[in-house]
């Protein structure tokens, strides 16, 4: 009984008990749930699906490596997408060093392995969205893709980007309006 | 936690729309775009294996490892142990007495009762089902509303059957003409169709996709053909109808002389399972099928002990029953097929 009494008196325990939002799932369960969202997010952002899939692999390998650092009182979505977003920033940095125009190679290779993937989104649709997104500011792009393609809440987007919620709301609003104008201009 | 998050996300999405109605159409478009981005499920499978291997290397106690738990959780002591033991024990009892697979919430798709269709399937990841009519693929959402139509190329002959791709982006269908059988693949986005294979006219006995989307398995002339969806490569693997390939691509379930059989994907017979038809793999070790009494059953083809369980009260009273599973194994379609149409029900598949 001593252990029980001790744990009930433990302020940390009380804190945790009060906080019902503790993530209790195992890594493999979280992987099952979040793979699709991370993969979709990176496929929306990277220039091609091969890079997006490589990045997805990198994200989950890193997540496993760092999983012991994950504080379960915070949403897993914010944590995994921070890793995903950082991996994407690294990718952009490397791409700047070795630039390649997406349209030169995005759908041109005749790689049968990925043929069904390629056909799901038409070249025009992907290019169109990519082109419109590139006309937004980097912040607006980050916010909109995290919000609407990674399906994160405003507070989670704010955590991933290290910004305040009100700043994220504003960027989201302005980004949407701008994107809307770009679509309307077509 | 997950439900609460989803609810909050939903509320915030509504807030975005309410804030400025001019962007609501854009939000719908972005949502559609997001949902239409395909996920690489092959990578998902492969990476999971890799991660599990890595976890083992890192010294995690099991593949389904528990990661670092909150410090306080470790302090709960023996009371928690006792509680867990009791929960495990009752869980085990429930496990023993209940079925592995449970199907719930059967809903009729009444809208399709009035249309003439030859075959039906679930579209992966889209909450839609697709029906093959004489000259079009008709898509219905779960609420029974027709949401899309794809016209088929105008070719002479009779449509026979369809199969929706595991990525939810394509539908393969077959038409039998007076001089040839043709297998086509239509794109769900865009609606374009391409001819995949042409043979002499042969009887048709069902078609399905491999999970990676690279192959179609079709029963033509009583033989199971493996047909590449990218090249002109074809081969004949087995005898039978109703081909269904296991998720790992290693085995084929077929129906031969009204008996279900499992073959290696290389074309070698493995085991006979007894009477039944319309087999579909739930995972690499379990098959759902329709038994002689037209009810849905489950069996484990590689278990030594022959163990079959009924998993649903659905029994066909009219027409020939078929079952189809969604690629994510969360939904099941039950069809009672008549000459030109049939009754369709869609249920939720709960797999333990």
Sites in chain A below the pLDDT cut of 70:
1-20, 97-127, 186
Using one digit for the tens of pLDDT, what is the confidence trace for B37-46? 778 888 888 8
Contact criterion met (CB below 8 Å) for B121 and B333: yes
Please tell me which residue, A56 or B318, carries the higher pLDDT value.
A56
- B5 to A57, A74, A168, B10, B65: CA distances (angstroms): 25, 12, 18, 9, 24
Judge contact between B171 and B163, C-beta under 8 A. Answer: yes
Chain B contact probe: residue of A16, A148, A169 with most B CBs at under 10 A: A148
Q: Is B38 on the interface with A (CB under 8 A)?
A: yes
Helices A165-184, A123-134: axis angle to 10 degrees equals: 120
Kindly write down the DSSP assignment for every residue of B201-255, as one continuous string.
---EEEEEE-TTSSEEEEEETTEEEEEESSSS-EEEEEE-EEEEE-TTSSEEEEE
Cβ contact B75–A10 (<8 Å): yes
pLDDT band at B251 (very low <50, low <70, confident <90, very high): very high
Find the Cα–Cα–Cα–Cα dihedral A123, A125, A127, A128, rounded to 10°: 150
**Residues ≥6 apart with Cβ < 8 Å to A138:** none
Residues of A in contact with B165 (CB under 8 A): 116
pLDDT at B14: 52
Residue B70: is its pLDDT beyond 50?
A: no
Average pLDDT over residues B198-210: 89
**Rounded to two decimals, what is the model's pTM?**
0.51
Tens of pLDDT, residues B266-281:
888 888 888 888 999 9
**CB proximity under 8 Å: B 297-316 to A:** none
**What pLDDT, on the 0 to 100 scale, is given for residue A126?**
61
Please give the pLDDT value at position B60.
64
- Asked whether the beta carbons of residue B26 and residue A73 sit closer than 8 angstroms, the reply is no
- pLDDT band, very low/low/confident/very high, at B293 (cuts 50, 70, 90): confident
CB pairs below 8 Å between A and B: how many?
170
Give B84-126 pLDDT, tens digit per residue. 777 777 665 555 444 467 887 888 888 888 888 889 999 987 7
Cα B135 from Cα B153, distance rounded (Å):
8
**ipTM for this model:** 0.76
Q: Do A121 and B229 touch (CB under 8 A)?
A: no
Q: How far apart are CA B53 and CA B31, in angstroms?
A: 35
Q: Are B99 and B309 in contact (CB under 8 A)?
A: yes
Q: Is B200 touching A (CB cutoff 8 A)?
A: no
Residue B138: its pLDDT value, please? 93
Q: Is residue B54 within 8 angstroms of chain A, CB to CB?
A: yes
Distances, alpha carbon B171 to alpha carbons A138, B5, B146, in Å:
38, 34, 17
């Amino acid at each position: 009984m001593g252990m029980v009494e001790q744990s009930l008196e433990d302020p940390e325990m009380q804190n945790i008990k009060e906080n019902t939002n503790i993530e209790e799932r195992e890594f493999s369960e979280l992987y099952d749930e979040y793979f699709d969202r991370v993969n979709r997010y990176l496929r929306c952002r990277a220039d091609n699906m091969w890079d997006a899939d490589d990045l997805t692999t990198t994200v989950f390998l890193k997540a496993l490596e760092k999983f012991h650092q994950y504080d379960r009182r915070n949403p897993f979505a914010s944590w995994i997408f921070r890793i995903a977003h950082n991996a994407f920033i690294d990718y952009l940095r490397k791409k700047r060093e070795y630039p390649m125009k997406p349209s030169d190679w995005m759908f041109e290779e005749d790689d049968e392995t990925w043929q069904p993937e390629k056909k799901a989104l038409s070249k025009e649709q992907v290019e169109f969205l990519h082109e419109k997104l590139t006309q937004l500011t980097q912040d607006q792009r980050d916010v909109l893709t995290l919000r609407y393609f990674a399906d994160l809440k405003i507070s989670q987007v704010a955590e991933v980007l290290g910004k305040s919620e009100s700043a994220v709301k504003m960027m989201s609003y302005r980004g949407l309006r701008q994107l809307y104008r770009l679509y309307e201009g077509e | 936690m997950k439900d609460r998050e989803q609810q909050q996300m939903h509320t915030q999405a509504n807030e975005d729309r309410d804030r400025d109605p001019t962007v609501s159409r854009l939000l719908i478009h972005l949502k559609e775009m997001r949902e239409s981005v395909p996920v690489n499920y092959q990578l998902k499978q492969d990476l999971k294996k890799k991660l599990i291997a890595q976890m083992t290397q890192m010294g995690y106690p099991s593949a389904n490892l528990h990661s670092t738990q909150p410090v306080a959780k470790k302090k709960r002591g023996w009371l928690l142990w006792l509680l867990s033991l009791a929960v495990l024990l009752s869980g085990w009892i429930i496990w023993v007495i209940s079925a592995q697979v449970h199907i719930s919430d059967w809903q009729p798709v009444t809208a399709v009762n009035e249309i003439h269709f030859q075959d039906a399937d679930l579209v992966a990841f889209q909450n839609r089902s697709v029906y093959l009519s004489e000259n079009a693929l008709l898509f219905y959402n779960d609420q029974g509303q027709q949401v899309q139509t794809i016209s088929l190329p105008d070719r002479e002959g009779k449509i026979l059957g369809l199969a929706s791709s595991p990525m939810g982006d394509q539908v393969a269908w077959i038409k039998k003409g007076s001089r040839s059988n043709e297998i086509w693949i239509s794109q769900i986005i865009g609606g374009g169709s391409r001819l995949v294979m042409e043979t002499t006219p042969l009887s048709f006995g069902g078609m399905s996709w491999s999970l990676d989307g690279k192959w179609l398995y079709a029963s033509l002339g009583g033989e199971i053909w493996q047909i590449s969806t990218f090249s002109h490569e074809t081969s004949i693997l087995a005898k039978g109808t109703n081909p269904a390939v296991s998720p790992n691509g290693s085995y084929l379930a077929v129906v031969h002389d009204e008996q279900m059989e499992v073959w290696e994907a290389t074309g070698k017979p493995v085991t006979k399972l007894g009477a039944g038809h319309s087999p579909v793999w739930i995972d690499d070790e379990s098959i759902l099928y329709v038994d002689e009494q037209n009810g849905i059953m489950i069996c484990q083809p590689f278990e030594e002990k022959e163990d079959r369980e009924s998993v649903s009260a659905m029994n066909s009273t009219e027409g020939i029953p078929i079952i189809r599973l969604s690629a994510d194994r969360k939904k099941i379609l039950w069809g009672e097929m008549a000459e030109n149409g049939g009754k369709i029900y869609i249920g939720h598949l709960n797999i333990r």
